Amino acid sequence: MFQPVYLDHNATTPLAPAALAAMLPWLDGLCGNASSRHEYGRRARQVVDEARQRVAAAVGAHPTEVLFTSGGSEANNLFIKGAAASLRPGLIGVSAVEHPCVLKPAAQLQRLGWQLHTLTVDAAGRVETDDYAALLAQRPGLLSVMLANNETGVVQDVAALAEAARGSGAWFHSDAVQAFGKLPLDFRALNAAGVHALTLSAHKIGGPKGAAALLVDKRVELQPQIAGGGHERGLRSGTENVAAIVAFGVAAELAAAGVAERAQRMRQLKNRLESGLTVIGARIFAVDAPRLPNTSYFAFADIDGETLVGKLDREGFAVASGAACSSANPEPSHVLRAMGVAPEIARGAVRVSLGEGNDEHEVEQFINALRATVGRLQGLTAMTV
């Protein structure tokens, strides 16, 4: 009997069994506020600190550089707004293909006297070097360029961009939410190149929703964006989500341990997928740029992406028409628009993001279902012309 196939791992991943097992005792039986001074609180503090050590070790950071937050959006906002609050208003640069949780807080700084420079990208989604050099010449105070794009999977050379910015004096941040678990991450090496902060999220790596982290160089002065009890070294108040943080630590350890093998396997599946897409006539975006091993973003002429996603869902295949958080927005992807893709093509965009649970048989099933669905839709389009 056919089982539904999940192909939307960039939106969220299934909870890893080991992460679930670590989490369950703190949802049923164990309790304690990690700030309490009795035995229950001390035990909660101990497991939070152990999780902090695991997350740090997974990405080559020091535990004191790990700040737990409720999600990647909060972590990105904490850096952008928190770092800006410690500086005189100046110039902030972000790439045009950033996630909205970077673009929107950066735009909000304009009301506080900051100037915003949105870095252009080329047709493959990479930051334009000339525009970047022109920005650096203006000595920005803050920079944020994501390591891997959630829609296209394009990987930016963040280390080189940060290295180039060292003389500008800017604090450099990178959203690494999509990269973690799919690419090796070494915060110590990135920090040496000039990256001062990195964002991670648990639910993209087999952990639970509700836990994430901002890795931040201790030289960066951040102003807290949530005032209260002074948790997370006074930088993020709010009682720690012990269960989710414990599971995050386990998921981070697993993600780092198997990253090379996982990437190789995902790349093989993606290559098979894209061979099939090419035969069907899909336009695959960003093929000329380095991309995540699990992500393929494509479109078919004259076929609406939302319609195709809905048809495939009824066939039992879960894919996306873009970023999950912006799926209610009917406008074409801002990422594809920044890459110069025509609106009528961008509206047809569909993303497949593979995960550990997928196999070659499922990819073949998907290609067959996609071929049949596209054929029916193209037939309907021809009838209406």
Strand residue runs (E) in the chain: 5-6, 66-69, 91-95, 115-119, 142-144, 171-175, 197-201, 212-216, 283-284, 295-299, 317-318, 350-353
Q: What are phi and psi of 3, to 5 degrees?
A: -105, 140
Cα(117)–Cα(91) distance, integer angstroms? 7
Cα 228–232–237 angle (5° rounding)?
Answer: 20
With contact defined as beta carbons under 8 Å apart, do 222 and 79 qualify? yes
What is the CB neighbour count within 10 angstroms for residue 233? 11
User: Alpha helices, DSSP H only, in 182-232?
Assistant: 187-193
Marked catalytic residue, from 24, 280, 325, 345 = 325
Is 101 catalytic? The answer is no
Q: What are phi and psi of 27, to 5 degrees?
A: -105, -20
Cα(75)–Cα(346) distance, integer angstroms? 29
**Which residues is 95 bridged to in the sheet?**
119
* Residues annotated as part of the active site: 325
